Amino acid sequence: MELPISHTLVSQLTLIERTIATLPRTADHTAFYKKQARDTQITDLLTLASSMELTLNVDDAKDLLDSPEGQTAPQHFRLLKNCIAAMKYVRSMREHSFTTAVMQHENKLLSDGFSDFWEEGKVRAPHETPTYTQDGLRTRTTHPTYQLWTDIRQLLSYPDENIHPLLLAGMTAYHLISSYPFLQFNLQTALLSTYSIVKPTPYWISGTVSVMSSCLKTMKRTDFTFDPSPTHFTQFLEKLVKEYSIQVETIHDALEHQSSIAPHIRASLNDRQLKILTYFKQHKKLPRKKYAEMMNVAIATAFRDLDDLSKKGLIKAVGKGRGTSYILAQLPTPGELPNHELLEETDTIMD
């Protein structure tokens, strides 16, 4: 099957390549990344748990990260351990074409203890009348192997002949969902497969799972057919890559903004304040009450955090009293440094 790769898709991938290449890699930013690594790991776990409709708080996530592998005793961690197994399976199957059996087996890794799903989640052709064995189990129909894996590998690849991680993740999600459209476990497996494929690559950003989830929510059942249409598949990839590109640009802008803050100012900010600066780059305006809800802190704590950022010239208040909101302040130019001391005199070094 010929797979059309549109100009839109190629241009979006090119934009991502350029943006990734310009992300700061100075020693100062390396230290900053290390400081944020723990929070990023916790965020990843909470996002995965949320996608699986699990109740997992920050303390639980910390305990899970600190526990030796395989020794997570609490019952509600069981599904997370199954997810790890599913991700390992995804990576072990990278050289194989997708078949219905492969997709179902991967879903089975996620559905340990959910026998009703496994019995009802088997793929069957439209209007197929189920047949059963003597034991009362429904028999399976053998379906042809999908060949899109080979088609994409021939059209878009790295110099080392490995498929582009974003396209591999998109293709995996597309086929997992088309195996049984919009069944909850298929959606979860698609998200986890994306996590598994992109996480070890330079293209991983905090929020990749959320970006994929947002993209999938915009899809319709007609976008996924049992015999996947090349046109539908290309449209799916375009939307995925576009959403990812927007997220990368946002992170890039936030890092640029943080790099413009003098080191001694940045070092004085707590984790909540650093995180909210990224939010301002995306949403422009933030009420005090919403900050308290987002960070799960009291209104008094929210006031102190935001007031501190305001006094340091990073944000400014709009309105008065309970209706006070905050917007990102325009940082001073180098000529104004004697008054504000917020900008470093040297330019940020980019790789």
Of 246, 238, 309, the residue nearest 272 (C-alpha): 309
Polymer length in residues for the chain:
351
CA distance 348 to 94: 39
Position with higher pLDDT, 223 vs 33: 223
What percent of the chain is predicted at pLDDT more than 90? Answer: 0
Window from 206-210, 270-274, 311-315, 330-334 with minimum mean pLDDT: 330-334
Window from 21-25, 95-99, 120-124 with minimum mean pLDDT: 120-124
Angle at 301 between CA 210 and CA 268, to 5 degrees: 80
Question: What domains are defined for the chain?
Answer: 7-255 (1.10.3290), 263-340 (1.10.10.10)
pLDDT for 292 equals 86
Q: Could you report the per-residue pLDDT of 240-277, keeping only the tens digit for each?
A: 777 777 766 766 666 676 677 777 887 788 878 877 87
Of 66, 8, 12, 24, the residue nearest 259 (C-alpha): 24
CA distance 143 to 179: 11
Position with higher pLDDT, 9 vs 327: 327
Window from 26-40, 65-79, 115-129 with minimum mean pLDDT: 115-129
Of 230, 137, 253, the residue nearest 178 (C-alpha): 230
Its pTM surpasses 0.85: no
Of 87, 244, 96, 93, the residue nearest 170 (C-alpha): 244
What confidence tier does 101 reach under pLDDT thresholds 50, 70, 90?
low
CA distance 22 to 18: 6
Q: What's the chain's average pLDDT?
A: 60
Of 71, 67, 68, 44, the residue nearest 56 (C-alpha): 44
Is the pLDDT confidence value at 102 over 70? no
CA distance 278 to 274: 7
What count of other Cβ atoms lies within 10 Å of the Cβ of residue 223?
Answer: 19
Of 262, 333, 271, 317, the residue nearest 297 (C-alpha): 271
Tokens of 315: 């944000």
262 HSE (CA, 13 A, CB side): 16
SS (H, E, C) the chain: CCCCCCHHHHHHHHHHHHHHHCCECCHHHHHHHHHHHHHHHHHHHHHHHHHCCCCCCHHHHHHHHHCCCCCCCCHHHHHHHHHHHHHHHHHHCCCCCCCHHHHHHHHHHHCCCCHHHHHHCCCCCCCCCCCECCCCCECCCCCCCCCHHHHHHHHCCCCCCCCCHHHHHHHHHHHHHHHCCCCHHHHHHHHHHHHHHHCCCCCCCCCHHHHHHHHHHCCCHHHCCCCCCHHHHHHHHHHHHHHHHHHHHHHHHHHHHHHCCCHHHHHCCCHHHHHHHHHHHHHCEEEHHHHHHHHCCCHHHHHHHHHHHHHCCCEEEECCHHHCEEEECCCCCHHHHHHHCCCCCCCCCEC
Residue pair 44/195 in contact (Cβ under 8 Å)? The answer is: yes
CA distance 337 to 39: 32
Name the packing angle between helices 230-259 and 27-51 (round to 10°). 140
Residue pair 93/102 in contact (Cβ under 8 Å)? The answer is: yes
Tokens of 124: 């069957």
